[in-house]
Amino acid sequence: MEGTIIRGVGGFYYVHDGISSIYACKARGIFRNRQEKPLVGDRVFFEVTDPVDREGNVTEILPRHSELVRPAVANVDQVILLFALRRPAPNMNLLDRFLLMMRRQNIPVILVWNKADLVMEEDWEAVEKVYRDAGCQLLRISVAEDSGIEELRSVLRGKTTVLAGPSGVGKSSLTNLLHPQAAMETGALSRKIQRGKQTTRHSELFFLEENTFLMDTPGFTSLDVFAGEPEEVRDGTPEFDLYRNECRFLDCMHIGETDCAVKRAVTGGLISPVRYENYCQMVEEVRRRKKY
Ligand SMILES: Nc1nc2c(ncn2[C@@H]2O[C@H](COP(=O)(O)OP(=O)(O)O)[C@@H](O)[C@H]2O)c(=O)[nH]1
Ligand SMILES: [Mg+2]
Ligand SMILES: [Zn+2]
């Protein structure tokens, strides 16, 4: 049979068949010899050894199309970056850093704004404009009022998605809304293995519907920029594209250069000054990191 590893605890891998059943599987020695370690998110072949208690053996790991380190998860198709429009007020610096990181790893991001119930239409439109210009796919939801959720479901359908964002924005509330049967599924698992569960902090994929999985991650509060080239920060900022051909210098970083069309666009209100400020800061950090 074929399935997806949704959790790994104490040497067991929980494999979801993509429809409705979860099997507690052991990884056979064959992997250990090959130094392969199954990851949450892995697509696997498995054989059922006990159909009543739903136990089995993972027999083969299928090739991964992606692998994230933190959280450790394979085959992620996209990231939902959840921010609240208010309470907590969005930290745009953190947001811009995260967008850049994901762009650099080629992981599609959908920027989802929660707590729509707490802000006026104008406040939303301002945020929407800035991040549309930044090339983001955006969605506005309210978990409290159950609005925008169907649209979000269609974005998730058929994919494995990691849900990320700072704490307090509603990640757990959203997961519970999308996956109300979480407790039931856990209760259905084999008693023998259940015991390990309370003591282990683990990443876990939630099954939402056919071939659709979601992983809630702990909130992050800060994010260091990568070790790389300052040009990567620049090239990961799509709103410069409209203007950069008019800069005097071909390799303009749009910071200290004279006759810079990007800086003119910032001054003229065509590029968000907050995004630009965050950009300058990230370039500075990458440069500093390069020196050491
Ligand atoms: N007003 C409002 N509050 C929300 C909404 N979604 C979640 N909350 C509240 O925000 C707080 C933090 O939610 P939680 O899911 O724990 O956030 P997490 O830290 O990202 O997992 C809780 O008190 C939720 O009830 C929403 O759409 N509107
Ligand atoms: Mg939470
Ligand atoms: Zn320039």
pLDDT (tens digit per residue) in 142-189: 999 999 999 999 999 999 999 999 989 999 899 989 987 654 444 344
Pocket test for ligand 1, best of 119, 173, 179 (most atoms within 8 A of CB): 173
The ligand 1 atom at the shortest distance from the C-alpha of residue 169 is 20
Please tell me the distance from the alpha carbon of residue 226 to that of residue 143, in angstroms, as a whole number: 33
Pocket test for ligand 1, best of 86, 118, 119, 143 (most atoms within 8 A of CB): 143
Percent over 70 (pLDDT), the chain: 89
The ligand 1 atom at the shortest distance from the C-alpha of residue 174 is 15
Rounded mean pLDDT, 1-23: 93
Give the pLDDT confidence of 59-108 residue by residue, as tens digits.
999 999 988 877 888 999 999 999 999 999 999 999 999 999 888 888 89
User: What ranges do the domains of the chain cover?
Assistant: 2-65, 68-180+201-216, 230-291
| Structural tokens at position 3 | 């399935």
The ligand 1 atom at the shortest distance from the C-alpha of residue 87 is 10
| Structural tokens at position 285 | 């950090």
The ligand 1 atom at the shortest distance from the C-alpha of residue 166 is 20
Residue 174 Cα to ligand 2 middle (Å): 9
Are the beta carbons of 243 and 264 closer than 8 angstroms?
yes
Cβ partners under 8 Å of residue 234, min gap 6: 240, 253, 254, 279, 283
Residue 246 Cα to ligand 3 middle (Å): 8
User: Among 144-148, 191-195, 263-267, which stretch is predicted with the lowest mean pLDDT?
Assistant: 191-195
Please tell me the distance from the alpha carbon of residue 40 to that of residue 205, in angstroms, as a whole number: 7
* pLDDT recorded at residue 186: 40
The CATH code that applies to domain 230-291 is 1.10.40.50
Band of pLDDT at residue 224, cut at 50, 70 and 90: confident
Residue nearest to atom 17 of ligand 1 (CA): 170
- Could you say which ligand is closest to the alpha carbon of residue 173? 1
Protein residues whose CB sits closer than 6 Å to any atom of ligand 1: 114-115, 117-118, 142-144, 167-173, 219
| Structural tokens at position 26 | 């052991």
CATH class of 68-180+201-216: alpha beta
CATH class of 2-65: mainly beta
Question: Which residue(s) pair with 55 in the sheet?
Answer: 24, 50
Please tell me the distance from the alpha carbon of residue 112 to that of residue 83, in angstroms, as a whole number: 6
Say how many C-beta atoms besides its own lie within 10 A of residue 199's C-beta.
Answer: 8
Residue 173 Cα to ligand 1 middle (Å): 6
Please tell me the distance from the alpha carbon of residue 177 to that of residue 182, in angstroms, as a whole number: 10
Give the residue with greater pLDDT, 127 vs 217: 127
* pLDDT recorded at residue 195: 40
Rounded mean pLDDT, 126-136: 95
* pLDDT recorded at residue 30: 63
User: Among 19-28, 80-89, 231-240, 272-281, which stretch is predicted with the lowest mean pLDDT?
Assistant: 19-28
- Work out the mean pLDDT of the chain and round it to a whole number: 89
The ligand 1 atom at the shortest distance from the C-alpha of residue 165 is 20
Could you give the C-alpha distances from 18 to 39, 212, 247, 251, 255, in angstroms and in order?
Answer: 16, 8, 52, 49, 50
Residue 141 Cα to ligand 2 middle (Å): 17
Residue 219 Cα to ligand 2 middle (Å): 7
Closest CA to 107 of 79, 84, 129, 130: 79
Residue 57 Cα to ligand 1 middle (Å): 39
